[in-house]
A = this chain, B = another copy of it.
């Protein structure tokens, strides 16, 4: 805990910088987050940042990498013995949980996604990375629904692709509501239940469920 630099403290200062940078990039965006401010918050000199990372852009990329880490859920091995219904529920739960836990990062991602101008970007671009991640999650969902439909657990009213899009859209929308418009989360559970009533067939495993699924006039 002294001012004597060592191999190990180098790593620590690097981390400190990444933490400060994450915070600032997330709350202000790339351009409004200044290197001086990052340095101040990380309690190091600005020059040290440029010693660790050769440009602001490189620092940014490092931050992104770090934020993206928790996304790599090894879902396949995590929830193998559950049936399709429960696996799907768990997948949705993971999504909601992730957004809750990493709200800052999600905001950050969305901001970047929104800003990056349409099309024409290298395949290694940030937008592309996120799209791939999202696609993977989505594919997992499509597979689950397909298998669920084969076993009669999922409704066939929509094909799996459409059902997944529907599911994800509503989840994303809920996310937008809470994140952007700051709607109270009151109706959240209710809505998830409705969602489930759309993708699943009638519940075999009973749970606290007020509505009985299908209303007619």
Rounded to whole Å, the gap between the CB of A211 and the closest CB of chain B is 4
Q: Which residues of B contact A18 (CB under 8 A)?
A: none
Copies held by the complex: 2
Beyond A32-B31, A211-B158, A215-B201, whether A191 also contacts B177 by CB under 8 A is no
Rounded to whole Å, the gap between the CB of A215 and the closest CB of chain B is 5
Task: Evaluate contact between B162 and A190: CB separation under 8 angstroms.
Answer: yes
Cα(A187)–Cα(B111), bound, Å: 25
Closest to A164 in B: B187
Cα(A171)–Cα(B131), bound, Å: 20
Q: Contact flags (1/0) for A162-173 with B, using CB distance below 8 Å?
A: 100110111111
3 residue pairs, one from A and one from B, having the closest CB atoms: A169-B173, A173-B173, A172-B173
Beyond the given pairs A27-B117, A107-B114, A157-B197, 18 more chain A to chain B contacts, judged by CB atoms under 8 angstroms and listed by A's residue number, are: A28-B115, A31-B32, A110-B180, A111-B115, A113-B181, A114-B180, A131-B181, A152-B217, A155-B215, A157-B214, A157-B215, A165-B191, A168-B177, A169-B170, A169-B176, A172-B176, A201-B215, A202-B216
